[in-house]
């Protein structure tokens, strides 16, 4: 497991972290003594606005798409589960139509990763946040997409004898934003890869460069991800690069580059072997998501790690016998 960068496990059942454990007692959708109309009225005090920083929002495929999320509460105190990077336990943030042609990039990363962050993180009284849409949507086909954002929002309530849950959970749905993704452009992709390369060369901009390289998602970007992943093992940008390896739609390129690097990997050999094993497990488990049933999830986890260790041993043995 040491080869895997720490992030929160998406299969919370395996980690034993239900909502109540992360955020205290689970809030009721309708607190005691509150009518449906009263709940709706309290939730309707809040609104969520979603807007791309670039207007009109026309982008190359793989280009970084920055947007703002703004919450209005009409002066009432409230807390919002803004998405963060990485997203931690908040699963569905951005919704898009048509569904085909784009994916949630986190679904490509089939690692079970436990850790990252303190229980109770996530809720904020901030009123605005800037995000990279690329964290939540990976566009794979050109065309026009209509997106909206859904965030969880908590409104504090007065505690009394009848109401033992002094908060109200609302789902805020934003306005829609129409985004156009242009057809692939080899000249732009080459220029963008050159720009990213310059960012990666500087300590001050390497993290930004690693994130942009993740988003670019071309065969050349996949090969560059591997080189920088192995070149900067202790750098703060390394977890970004690692995530890029698993989110890339060019897993074959990533595997080929890692296998080429393995014979001369030296002290990085364990890291390369771990990444290769994770990619193989992802491929074999791609159509087998973690079950929601705790007992089945535990069996799934056991099989996952058994395969991971088996593939690791296979690569380690092949390297030793050379």
Instruction: List domains and CATH numbers for the chain.
Output: 12-181 (2.60.40.2970), 186-320 (no CATH)
**In which residue are the tokens 């890291």 written?**
271
Please list, in sequence order, all residues whose beta carbon lies within 8 angstroms of the beta carbon of residue 51, skipping any fewer than 6 positions away.
67, 68, 70, 177
How much is the average pLDDT of 137-152?
A: 93
Measured CA distances, 135 to 15, 21, 64, 105, 116 (Å): 23, 26, 10, 7, 17
Tokens of residue 266, six digits: 């030296």
DSSP string for residues in 63-122 = ---EEEEEEE-TT---EE----SS-TT----EEEESSTTEE-GGGG--------S-TTTT
**In which residue are the tokens 């290769």 written?**
276
**In which residue are the tokens 């606005």 written?**
49
The β-bridge relationship of strands 128-132 and 102-103 is unpaired
Quick: pLDDT tens for 79-118.
887 776 445 555 558 899 999 999 988 777 666 443 333 3
Q: What is the rounded CA–CA span in Å between residue 46 and residue 123?
A: 15
Q: Quote the pLDDT of residue 34.
A: 55
Q: Quote the pLDDT of residue 90.
A: 54
Quick: pLDDT tens for 180-225.
999 999 999 999 999 999 999 999 999 999 999 999 999 999 999 9
The model's pTM: 0.78
Q: How far is CA 309 from the centre of its chain?
A: 25
Tokens of residue 40, six digits: 């709706």
Closest CA to 130 of 49, 208, 173, 66: 66
């Amino acid at each position: 497991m040491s080869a895997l960068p720490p992030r929160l496990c998406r299969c919370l059942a395996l980690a034993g972290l239900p909502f109540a454990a992360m955020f205290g007692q689970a809030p009721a959708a309708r607190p005691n003594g509150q009518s449906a109309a009263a709940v709706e009225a309290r939730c309707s005090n809040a609104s969520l606005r979603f807007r791309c920083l670039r207007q009109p929002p026309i982008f190359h495929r793989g280009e970084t798409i920055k947007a703002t999320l703004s919450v209005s509460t009409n002066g009432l105190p409230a807390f919002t589960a803004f998405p963060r990077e990485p997203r931690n336990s908040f699963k569905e943030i951005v919704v898009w139509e048509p569904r085909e042609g784009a994916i949630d990039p986190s679904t490509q990363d089939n690692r079970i990763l436990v850790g990252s962050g303190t229980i109770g993180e996530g809720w904020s009284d901030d009123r605005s946040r800037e995000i990279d849409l690329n964290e939540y949507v990976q566009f794979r086909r050109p065309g026009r997409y209509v997106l909206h954002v859904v965030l969880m929002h908590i409104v504090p309530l007065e505690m009394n004898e009848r109401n033992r849950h002094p908060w109200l959970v609302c789902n805020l749905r934003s306005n829609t934003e129409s985004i156009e993704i242009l057809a692939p452009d080899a000249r732009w992709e080459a220029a963008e890869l050159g720009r990213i390369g310059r960012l990666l060369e500087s300590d001050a901009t390497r993290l930004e460069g690693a994130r942009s390289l993740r988003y670019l998602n071309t065969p050349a970007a996949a090969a560059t991800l591997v080189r920088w992943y192995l070149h900067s093992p202790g750098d703060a940008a390394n977890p970004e690069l690692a995530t890029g390896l698993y989110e890339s739609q060019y897993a074959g390129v990533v595997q080929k580059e890692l296998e080429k690097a393995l014979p001369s990997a030296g002290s990085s050999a364990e890291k390369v072997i771990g990444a290769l094993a994770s990619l193989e497990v992802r491929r074999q488990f791609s159509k087998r998501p973690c079950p929601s049933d705790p007992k089945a999830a535990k069996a799934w986890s056991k099989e996952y790690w058994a395969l991971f260790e088996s593939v690791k041993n296979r690569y380690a043995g092949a390297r030793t016998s050379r």
